Each structure stands twice: as C-alpha cells, then as structure tokens.
C-alpha cells in the first residue's frame, strides 16, 4: 500500500526505503528522475546520486531538467553540463516518447505537485524522497520517504547509496552530494546533526573533492553586490525578524537564488527569521524565507497558498497582479506574535490568489 514510510527508527527507515525503491525499480521498465523546478545543488546532487543507484540496479534513468543554461548561475550550469555528459538528461516534452510499458517517477527534494514539471498521475508508480514539510499540495498516490529532521535530499540519498554498498565511480558523484549537503546546512551551521556529519565524512572518504565543492560556492562579484544592495533595505521587526521588500526599481529582476542568498545572509546577525520579497520575472514575485528554528517559516509560507518548506527554509511564488504592498502587509499579518515552532492554530488573514 502506498504511503509514507515509518520514520521512528532511522536504520529501519532506510531499509524500508531501499526495499521499496528496489521493488519499484525491478517492476518498472523505465525510470524518470525529477526535482523541483530551478534545481539547486541539493536537487542536482540528489538526482545524480539517485541516477547512480539506478545504474547500479541495471536501470538507465532519465533525469528531467527543463531549465535553460542562460537562466542558471555559472556553478549550477557547470553541474548540469557535467550531468548531461554522464546521464540521459531530458526535457518534459520528451517523456511521453521515452516511456515504456511500466514507468516509475522518482521525485527528489520536493513533495509538491506544482513544483515539478510533469503530472505525477501519468506514471504507473511514484516515489517521493524529501526533507520538506507536507501539506494539502503534497503529491498524492505516491510512496513517500519524507523526514524534515534530515538536513537535505543529498543526505538521504547518501544514506541510500551507503545501504546499497555502492562505490562512487566516478568520484565526482560524491562531490556533488557533498555540495548539496553543504548548501542546505549552510556549511553545517543549520540543521546539521551527527548523522549529517557522518554522511559528509563518508563522502570525503569516498573521494569527494572539498576544494572543488568550495569552488562551486565562490561568489560572483557583480551578483554579490546586487544582493548586498538588496540587503541594505532590511527592516527589523519584533522578535528579531528581518524583512526585505523590493519596493523600488521594479524593473530589476532577481533570481530565486539571489533572494535565498539574501535571506541566508540576514541570519548571520541577531535575527530569528528572515523574509526577502523580490520580483523574479514580469509576472511573479517570490518570497524566500529562512529561520534559525524558533519560527516555522514553512508554515508561514504555506499560508500564501503557493508556497511551503520546512522549519528552517521555505518560499512562496505570488503573481504580480497583487501589489508588493499587499504581499508585505499580508506577511506581517502572518507574523503575529506567538507564531513560533509548530503552532498552527493562530487565526490569520489569508491572501486570496
């Protein structure tokens, strides 16, 4: 029966995942791997690790990535280019042509239907492997391995590779998994447990190149100055909540990665949670939210109806027919004093989208 795997014992948990994945790989002709749109290092690293597992199981997976190189930053495009040399990387429109008799979809680093560029109902089997909170928009009719206490999708996939006793070949695969863990833990400063450090240690022992991983995170000077100018408009509210709202020069578009970096940067200060609102294209605004753990930003972003995440990291996309002023006002209304941790009972005004 499909459903979430038991999460009360980590070793049993991983063995359940391994057994379920093995059965699904063996019972389907064709395997497709997908993560959230605009994949980051965690999504890409997890996709590479999962494709590696599939090949060890004698399956040739297709990794679905729709993003154009021109929309990626330099480091992300470097990883995707390398993926295309190692695996079958396809676009959504190629899926139907490549399907076999029975088809498996593996969804990584997200559990939301609207964040993947395929319809999960078009596949015979679906398994979701993620570390973000679930809500009413979580993919239905799927096997699910979801644990918000794990730092990243890459940590989950590393644990799975370890239990398949697979040796990283080439060793670059270990480097990409390490990059995903480094990204989602903010260099092991957030949501990193002893198991996270254990996963990183195993990856380094397996040949992950720490110098190369650090180079992937090198900042472009021009892009960094753009983010710093955004940070200069920070407002500090009660309970040390930092909010940035791009209320000037709306002709400037930011990438979601830009807004995430700004939100991450604010946590260097005595700030419990950060929210950065910016325009990502002509039709959409985006909120990137981060927390040190006192305030559940995943719950807050899910209240917009177009977002979600977990305790530490979350986001929402909002159409630009709603004004920035109303978005900011609605966010502040959601930040009613007392909205901390898992408190979901507070009465708030919802933004109609």
* Segment 41-56, tens digit of pLDDT: 999 999 999 999 999 9
Dist. CA 280–CA 274, nearest whole Å? 18
Q: Is the pLDDT of residue 237 over 90?
A: no
Report d(CA 47, CA 33) in Å as an integer. 7
Task: Give me the pLDDT at residue 171, please.
Answer: 93
What is the Cα–Cα distance from 233 to 254, expressed in whole angstroms? 15
What pLDDT sits at residue 98? Answer: 97
Closest CA to 149 of 130, 122, 136: 130
| Cβ pair 189, 151 in contact under 8 A | no
pLDDT computed for residue 206 by the predictor: 96
Domain with CATH 3.10.310.30 in the chain: 221-334
For the cut 70, the answer to whether the pLDDT of residue 6 exceeds it is: no
Average pLDDT on 301-325 reads: 88
* Pairing between β-strand 125-130 and β-strand 103-108 as defined by DSSP bridges: parallel
pLDDT in tens, 258-299: 899 999 999 999 999 999 999 998 899 999 999 998 888 988
Does residue 254 surpass a pLDDT of 60? Answer: yes
What is the C-alpha to C-alpha distance for residues 46 and 53, in angstroms, rounded to an integer? 10
- The count of other CB atoms within 10 Å of the CB of residue 102 is 13
The answer on pLDDT for 127 being more than 50 is yes
DSSP letter for each residue of 55-97:
HHTT---EEE----GGGS-HHHHHHHHHHHHHSEEE-GGGHHH
Q: For tokens 């910016």, what's the residue?
A: 278
Q: What is the pLDDT of residue 311?
A: 85
Distance CA 119, CA 104 (A): 12
Average pLDDT over residues 241-252: 83
Please count the other Cβ atoms lying within 10 Å of the Cβ belonging to residue 4. Answer: 15
Which letter does DSSP use for residue 346 in this model? -
Indicate the pLDDT class of residue 351, thresholds 50, 70 and 90: very low
Question: What is the structure's pLDDT at 332?
Answer: 87
Q: Quote the pLDDT of residue 8.
A: 44
How far is it, in rounded angstroms, from Cα 203 to Cα 150?
16
Which of 181, 218, 150, 149 shows the shortest CA–CA distance to 49?
A: 181
Is the pLDDT at 38 greater than 80, yes or no? Answer: yes
Q: What is the pLDDT of residues 60-75, one digit of tens each?
A: 999 999 987 667 778 8
Identify each DSSP E strand in 216-272 by its residue range: 235-237, 241-245
Write down the pLDDT at residue 343: 42
pTM over 0.85: no
Cβ–Cβ < 8 Å for 342, 310: no
334 pLDDT band (50/70/90 cuts)?
A: confident
Inform me whether the pLDDT recorded for 101 exceeds 60: yes
CATH code of the domain occupying 10-216: 3.90.1640.10
pLDDT band at 3 (very low <50, low <70, confident <90, very high): low
Intervals of CATH 3.90.1640.10 along the chain: 10-216
Size (the chain), residues: 353
Residue 39 in tokens: 């994949």
DSSP code per residue over 313-332: EEEEEEETTS-HHHHHHHHH
Burial 167-203 (b: 16+ CB within 10 A, else e): ebeeebbbbbbbbbbbbbbbeeebbbeeebeebbebb
Quick: pLDDT tens for 128-152.
999 998 888 899 989 999 998 899 9
Give 341's pLDDT tier (boundaries 50, 70, 90).
Answer: very low
pLDDT digits (tens, 9 = 90+) for 299-311: 899 888 878 888 8
Does the pLDDT of residue 7 top 60, yes or no? no
Tokens of 179: 């990059």
Report the pLDDT value the prediction gives residue 177, as an integer from 0 to 100.
98
pLDDT at 1: 43
Q: How far from chain centre, in Å, is Cα 109?
A: 5
CA-to-CA separations, 117 to 123, 132, 145, 196, in angstroms, rounded: 13, 18, 20, 29
Q: Which of 34-38, 88-92, 161-165, 188-192 has the lowest mean pLDDT?
A: 188-192
Say yes or no to pLDDT of 353 above 50: no
Tens of pLDDT, residue by residue over 190-213, are 889 999 999 999 999 999 999 999
235's CB contacts (< 8 A; 6+ apart) are 242, 243, 244, 245
> What fold characterizes domain 221-334?
Diaminopimelate Epimerase; Chain A, domain 1 (3.10.310)
Sign of CA dihedral 334, 336, 337, 338: negative
Q: What is the mean pLDDT of the chain?
A: 88
């Amino acid at each position: 029966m499909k459903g979430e795997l038991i999460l009360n014992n980590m070793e049993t948990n991983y063995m359940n995942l391994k057994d379920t994945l093995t059965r699904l790989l063996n019972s389907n002709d064709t395997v497709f791997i997908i993560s959230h749109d605009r994949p980051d290092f965690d999504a890409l690293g997890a996709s590479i690790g999962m494709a590696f597992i599939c090949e060890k199981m004698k399956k040739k997976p297709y990794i679905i990535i729709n993003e154009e190189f021109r929309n990626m930053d330099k480091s992300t495009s470097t990883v995707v280019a390398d993926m295309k040399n190692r695996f079958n990387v396809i676009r959504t429109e190629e899926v139907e042509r490549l399907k076999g008799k029975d088809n498996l979809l593996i969804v990584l680093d997200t559990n939301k239907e609207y964040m993947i560029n395929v319809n999960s109902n078009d596949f015979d089997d679906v398994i979701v492997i993620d570390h973000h909170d679930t809500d009413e928009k979580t993919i239905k009719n799927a096997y699910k391995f979801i644990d918000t206490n794990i730092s990243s999708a890459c940590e989950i996939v590393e644990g799975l590779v370890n239990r398949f006793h697979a040796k990283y070949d080439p060793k670059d695969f270990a480097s990409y998994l390490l990059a995903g863990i480094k990204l989602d833990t903010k260099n092991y400063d957030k949501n990193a447990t002893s198991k996270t450090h254990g996963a990183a240690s195993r990856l380094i022992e397996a040949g992950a190149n720490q110098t190369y991983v650090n180079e992937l995170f090198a900042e472009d000077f021009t892009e960094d100055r753009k983010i710093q100018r955004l940070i200069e408009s920070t407002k500090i509210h009660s309970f040390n909540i930092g909010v940035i709202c791009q209320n000037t020069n709306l002709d400037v578009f930011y990438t979601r990665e830009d807004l995430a970096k700004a939100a991450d940067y604010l946590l260097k200060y005595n700030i419990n949670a950060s929210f950065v609102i910016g325009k990502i294209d002509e039709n959409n605004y985006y909120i990137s939210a981060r927390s040190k753990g006192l305030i559940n930003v995943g719950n807050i972003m899910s209240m917009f109806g177009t977002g979600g995440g977990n305790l530490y990291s979350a986001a929402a996309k909002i159409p630009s027919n709603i004004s920035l002023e109303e978005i900011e006002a609605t966010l502040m209304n959601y930040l009613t004093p007392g909205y901390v941790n898992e408190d979901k009972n507070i009465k708030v005004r919802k933004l109609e989208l």
